[in-house]
């Protein structure tokens, strides 16, 4: 009976270790949503607060990210290759424990 109990405790401890480690297996992408072009280039580079944009992974799964009140964004992602769906659609690679800095440039019409 004590053998079954110790197996459950060991299994629970292993599950907790996997869950605790999962946070450190993410990478972070940060940047600023910025205006580009349009009728006047006077506003080029200005932040775009509250702007939504999409990040797509290699399997074409998409997630929507919203810039904060200063136009900045930060999102944790699993390691892999992604495309930022704005501007020139830059591709980037996320590595666990590292930060990728990448601005999102929106062409203004």
Residue-range definition of the domain harbouring residue 86: 26-107
- Assigned domain for 8 exists: no
Instruction: CATH number of the domain at 56, please.
Output: 2.60.40.1120
- Assigned domain for 56 exists: yes
The backbone torsions φ and ψ at residue 6, rounded to the nearest 5 degrees and listed phi first, read -70, -30
* Whole-prediction pTM: 0.70
Examine the pLDDT at 13 and tell me if it is beyond 60.
no
Examine the pLDDT at 9 and tell me if it is beyond 80.
no
pLDDT at residue number 37:
72
- Assigned domain for 97 exists: yes
Burial annotation 42-64 (CB, 10 A radius, 16+ → b, else e): eeeeebbeebebebbeeeeeeee
């Amino acid at each position: 009976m004590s053998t079954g109990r110790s197996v459950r405790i060991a299994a629970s401890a292993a599950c907790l270790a996997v869950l605790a480690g999962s946070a450190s297996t993410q990478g972070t992408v940060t940047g600023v949503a910025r205006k580009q072009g349009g009728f006047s280039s006077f506003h080029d580079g200005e932040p775009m607060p509250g702007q939504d944009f999409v990040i797509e992974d290699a399997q074409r799964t998409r997630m929507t990210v919203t810039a904060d009140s200063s136009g900045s964004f930060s999102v944790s992602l699993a390691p892999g290759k992604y495309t930022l769906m704005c501007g020139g659609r830059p591709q980037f690679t996320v590595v666990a424990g590292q930060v990728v800095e990448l601005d999102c440039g929106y062409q203004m019409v």
